[in-house]
Amino acid sequence: MKRTRAILDRYAVRTGQRTWSTPMTVEALGEVERALKSNATKNTSVACFQNQGTNRMVKKWCVGNCNNFTDNGHFAAGHTTLPPAETPAWIRLIALLSKTAGMGHDFGKAVNFFQNKLTDPPSQPKKDLVRHEWLSMKLAKRWIDELAAGTAPLSSEDLWSHEWNKLGNNWMHLQNFEKWKKGFTTWDDSLLFLIATHHKLFDGKNCGRQVNSSQHVRQDIKESGTISIEERQVAGILPKSIFNQWESLLGRLSKNTLSAEESKNTDFWRGVTILSRAALILADHDVSSRPRASSDHWAKEYMYAKSGANNDLLTAQSLPWHLENVSKTAGSFAWKILMNRKNTPALSDSSVETIIQRSDPSSRFSWQDIAYDTLSSGEQVPTIVINQAGTGCGKTRMNAKAVCAIAHGRNVRFTTALNLRTLTLQTHDSYSDELKIPESDLRMVIGDDTVKIMHSASWNSNTGNEDTEDDEGESVKSIGSELEIPKWIVDVLQAQSGMDKVIASPVLVSTVDTIIKAGEPGRQGKHASQLLRLATSDIILDEIDSFDQSALVAVLRLVMLSGLFGRSVIASSATLPEPTVSALIRSYEAGIRIHKALGMEKESSGKYRCAIIDEKKSPDVIELLAQDERDESNVLKVVEVFAERVSCKNNNKINKLAKLIKVDPEGGIEGYHQSIIGGITEMHDYNHFEMYGKRVSVGLIRCANIKPTIAIADLISSNIPHARVACYHSTDFMIQRIHKEKRLDTLLKRSSGNENLLNDPEISDIVKNTDGDDVQFIVVATPVEEVGRDHDFDWAIIEPSSVHSIIQTAGRVNRHRMLEATKPNIGILQFNINTFKGGKDKKVFIHPGLEISDSEMVSHPEHDLQEILIWDEVNGSLVLALDSTVRYKDKNGIYSHDFSKYDDLSLAYFLDSAKKPLSSVLNNNKPYWATKQTYDRAQLRSFQRSRVFILSMDDSGVVPIIEEEMQQRYGKVVKTPISFKDIERRQSDWLVLSPSEMVAKAKEFNASHGADMDSLLSCSIADYRNFDEEGNCASNYNLHVDFSFGLVLHNPG
C-alpha cells in the first residue's frame, strides 16, 4: 500500500484516504498504469475512473484485484466469502487422468538399456530400438488388464518384476498392439494414449485409420541383435509408495462414474484426452527443468529419470521422485488451467469503447455499426463470424468490433493470426494507432523457429536423447510492455521463458505460425502452451483464403479447437469461397460437439451462431444446434444464406476495369516478357497524373514466384528508360523489406489524392531530374503485396494464379480514391508463366494456386484466361469489370467464370473428401486425430530446408560481408563468411538502401523496437541442395547478391 500511494502521489492530488483526483492526459494515464503494474503485488487493488458528467463514472483500467470495484465507480463496503465452487465432474476426471498418467509415464525408463545410456558421453548417443514411452504404455496396459481381471495375486513389487520379465522375453513382438480402432471410448484408452505419446504422437497407417508403432519401435527390431537379454531387463524396483499411489489412482479411475452417454462418447473422450495430455506435457517439462531437489531422498537408492549436467548422475533426478512430482504437477496444472481459464487479463472498458465507437452514418464504414448492433443482441453463445466485406471497407476494425460485440463488451480477449509477417506488423500498428489499444494490453509475436527446424532437420534422426527430441518450446520472443500475469499462468509456464506474457496478453497479434501449434499435438510443449492461448481467447483469422489447401486444413484445426473451448471465431476475406465457408462450419461444429459432450458450461446445449456480414447487406445471423457428424444440415443452411448474399450484383460504379493482355502461346518466356512491357506502356497511358509537366504513375506487377519477379524487375530496368523499379518479395534482407513497406505505406496512402506523392522529396527529385515526359514508378512483387497491404496503385498487371489472386491484387488499385474507371486500370496476363515451363499436361496454377491433377481429379482442364474468364469486347479489347462477384455463382447457382468453378472444385475435393486431411481431423470415431500422419498430411508450411544469410560491413564500413548462419549438432549456431557474386546495382532501382544504409537503419530499428540485429539484417532462402542422411551436401548453389532486387541461389549446373 505504501508503494502504491507513493506512485499515485506523484501524479495526482489525494482527495481521501484511498482516493486521488486530477486532470490528466491519456499518455500520462498510461504511464501511471504502467508504474502501478510494475510494482503490483497480490494485495494491489487500484481502479481508475473518468468523470464524464453528473453521476457518470467510466472505468478506464484496473490494476490488481478488480473485484472490489463496479464499472461505474462503486466500491464494495464489505465482503462475504462464499464456499469454493464445486469442481465440475469433467475437470475432476481430467485432473485425475493427468495425475495417473504422470505417475506411470516414465515406467519404461527402468529398463537397463536406458539406465546405462544415462552415463554415455553426449557425443556418442545411442538410438533406442524401443522408446521408453512405449514400454511404459505396455507395462500400464498389462497392469490394468491384470487388475481388471483379478488375476494379480502377486504383490506390486512382484507384479512389476513379472511384467518386466514378460516384456524382456517378448522383445521382438513389441510392435504388436491392437487398440483404438474405433476411437477413444474408455478411460484406459485415454490413459494409455497419454503415457505413450507424451513425447511423440503415434504414426498411422492408411491415412491415419490405424495406429502404428513405427514412431516408438524401430522397424528393424526383429533383425537387430544389438540389445542383449540383460539390457532388456528391469534395472531395479520402485519404492512401495509409488506402486501404492499408482494402484490407488487406477482404482479411482476405474470407479469414476460417468453417464451412459459419456461413457462411450468419442467426442467426450477426445476432449478429455486433448486437455489431459496438455497438462501432462506441461508438467513433465516443468519437473524436468528443475534441478534435483533436496527432497529427492531416493536419488542414491533407485533408478534415474534423466541425467544431470554432462550426464552426471550426482545431479540427476531419481525416477521415483520424477514420477511422483510429474503426477502431482499434472493434476494440479489440469485443475488450474480448467478452473481459471476465464481468469485472464481482458481489455479495459475504455479500450473496448474506443474499438466500438460508431462511425459517421454517411461514411462507407457505417455498415460496421449495423453489424455490431446485430452481433451484440441476443443470447451470448459461441459464434463464428464470416466477414466478407470488400477491400478497403475496414475489416481490421470490424473484426475487433465483432469480438467485442459477441462478448457483450465483457472479458474481451482475442488473438489475431495472420499469414505474413508484414501483415502482422501492419495489424499491430493499426491496433495501436487506430484502435488505441494500449501497449500493456497488446503483444506481438512474429514468426517462429521454422528456420531453425529446417537447419537442424538433418540431425534429428541421429540424436539419442529421447527427452530432447521433444519440442519443449524454449523461450519465445514477443514485443509489448509489461503486464500483470495471473499466478496460475506463471506457474504452468515456468519452463517456457516469455510464454506467460504471450498467453496472458488481452490482445495477441501474431503470424499464424505461432498459434498454429495449438492444433499440432505432435509439437508437444509448444502445442500445450498455445492450446492455453486458444482456450482463453477468441480468434481472428484474417484473409483466411490466402492459404493453400493444405495450410487451410491446418488453420481449420484451430477453428475446431476454438469450438471445443466455446470461443468465438472471426474469419474474414473479401473473396471467401463457398467450399471454405462449408469447411469452417464443419470444423467449428465439430468443436462445439466436444464442448457439449464435456459439459464445459453449465448449459452446454450445443447452441452456436453463424453470422455473415459485409458492407452490402444487413447481417444474417443463423441460430444453430450442433448435430451428429454425419448430419450436414447446418452446413447447408449457412452455405445457402452465403450463396444468396454473394450472388447479388454490385451496383456501385466500376472502379476496377481489367483488360486481357494477350500473350503469344508460341512466343515462350521472351514473348511473355514483351507482353508485360507492352502492358506497362498501355496501363501508364490510361492511368497517370501530372507532376512538373510530366506524366507520372505508380504501378504494380504481380508475379507468382520470386525468381520471375527479380527477372521482370531487371527486364523493366533495361527496357523502359525512365521507369524506377522496386522489387518486393521475401528473399530480401528484412530491414530492406521494412524500409520498402514503410515508404510504400506513406506514398500510397491516397485518401486525399496524390498529395503524399506530390509532396515527397524523393519522388519530386526523381521526376524533376528525368529527361523524358513519362515516369513510371513500378513495384514488382510476389503475393506478399496482394493480401492486406493498404496501398493504392494507379494500375496493376497480374500474372494469374487463381481468381483469389486476381481480385486481391485488384484490391490494391484505386483502393482509396475509388475513382470511376472509364479505361482499364488492370491488365490480366493471358497465361501464367508456368505455361511456358513444361509440357502440355503440366500443372500451371500451383505454388501458389489451387490446381489439382491426379488419378481422381483434374481441377483445371484449361489455363487460357481468355477462355476461363468471361470478357466483354469494347473497341477491340477484351475487358472485365472486377469485383468480388467474379469469384461466385450467380443467382441461379451457376458459375459465370470457369476459373472460379475450377478453383472451387479443387477446394471442395481437398476439403470435403472422406479420404482427405480435414475429414481425418474431424472424425472422432476413428483414431485419425491421434496419429502423426494426419497432421503431416496438412501442414501450414512445407518444411523446406532454408539457408539464412546475414549482412554486415567490414571495418572500413565500405565492403559488405555476407555470412551464412548454420545450425550445428546439439543446437549450436555458427556464422561463416561466404563468397558471393555481387550483382551491379541498377541506376533505375527505387526504394533501395545500400548495405551501409541497411546496417544504420537496422541499428535505428533495434534501438526503437528492440528487434535482433541479426534478424533485421538476415535473408532466408529456400535450399534445394541434395543432402545425405548424415547431413552432407552432395551439390551446391552459388549466391548472387543483387542489392537492387534481391538475393538468389543460382544452380551452376
Q: pLDDT digits over 489-515, tens only?
A: 999 998 888 899 999 999 999 999 999
Residue 13 confidence (pLDDT) = 94
Q: At which residue does the C-alpha cell 486458444 appear?
A: 534
Distance between CA atoms of 246 and 243, rounded to whole angstroms? 5
**Residue 560 corresponds to which cell in the numbers above?**
475446431
Residue 773 confidence (pLDDT) above 90: yes
Residue 469 confidence (pLDDT) = 46
Report the alpha-carbon angle 429-432-435, nearest 5: 115
Residue 454 confidence (pLDDT) = 30
Residue 177 confidence (pLDDT) = 65
**Residue 632 corresponds to which cell in the numbers above?**
450436414
Q: Among 295-309, 523-537, 904-918, whose mean pLDDT is lowest?
A: 295-309
Residues spanned by the domain of 162? 89-340
**In a 10 Å sphere around its CB, with 0-12 CB exposed, 13-18 middle and 19+ buried, how is residue 974 labelled?**
exposed
Residue 970 confidence (pLDDT) = 46
Residue 437 confidence (pLDDT) = 92
Q: Among 115-119, 563-567, 830-834, 971-975, whose mean pLDDT is lowest?
A: 971-975
* 362 and 332, same domain (yes or no): no
Q: List the CATH number of the domain containing 872.
A: 3.40.50.300
Compute the average pLDDT of residues 276-289: 95
* 701 and 816, same domain (yes or no): yes
DSSP string, 692-734: TTEEEEEEEEE-SSHHHHHHHHHHHHHH-TT-EEEEESSSS-H
* 667 and 621, same domain (yes or no): no
Compute the average pLDDT of residues 428-445: 90
* 291 and 377, same domain (yes or no): no
Q: What is the pLDDT of residues 363-393, one digit of tens each?
A: 889 999 999 999 999 889 999 999 999 877 8
* 410 and 355, same domain (yes or no): yes
Residue 173 confidence (pLDDT) = 65
Q: Is the dihedral of CA 783, 785, 788, 792 positive or negative?
A: negative
* 18 and 123, same domain (yes or no): no
Residue 587 confidence (pLDDT) = 96
Report the alpha-carbon angle 357-360-363, nearest 5: 120
Judge whether 880 and 872 are in contact, CB under 8 Å: yes
Picking from 340, 368, 390, the residue at the C-terminal end of a domain is 340
Contacts of 677 (CB under 8 A, 6+ apart): 715, 716, 719, 720
Q: What is the pLDDT of residues 410-429, one digit of tens each?
A: 899 999 999 888 788 889 98
Distance between CA atoms of 726 and 993, rounded to whole angstroms? 11
Contacts of 848 (CB under 8 A, 6+ apart): 548, 704, 783, 801, 802, 805
Q: What is the pLDDT of residues 931-989, one digit of tens each?
A: 888 888 888 887 667 889 999 998 888 889 988 887 655 456 788 888 999 999 999 99
pLDDT band at 151 (very low <50, low <70, confident <90, very high): low
Residue 967 confidence (pLDDT) = 64
Compute the average pLDDT of residues 70-91: 81
Residue 884 confidence (pLDDT) = 87
Compute the average pLDDT of residues 887-893: 90
Q: Is residue 397 domain-resident?
A: yes
* 529 and 613, same domain (yes or no): yes
End-to-end, the C-alpha distance of the chain in Å comes to 73
* In the chain, % of residues over pLDDT 70: 88
Residue 455 confidence (pLDDT) above 50: no
pLDDT band at 120 (very low <50, low <70, confident <90, very high): confident
Q: Which residue has the higher pLDDT, 854 or 739?
A: 739
Picking from 868, 894, 912, the residue at the C-terminal end of a domain is 912
* 132 and 31, same domain (yes or no): no
Indicate the average pLDDT of the chain.
87
Residue 463 confidence (pLDDT) = 39
Distance between CA atoms of 739 and 726, rounded to whole angstroms? 11
Residue 822 confidence (pLDDT) above 90: yes
Number of domains in the chain: 5
* 393 and 502, same domain (yes or no): yes
Residue 311 confidence (pLDDT) above 60: no
* 624 and 746, same domain (yes or no): no
Picking from 289, 311, 340, the residue at the C-terminal end of a domain is 340
pLDDT band at 46 (very low <50, low <70, confident <90, very high): very high
* 973 and 1030, same domain (yes or no): yes
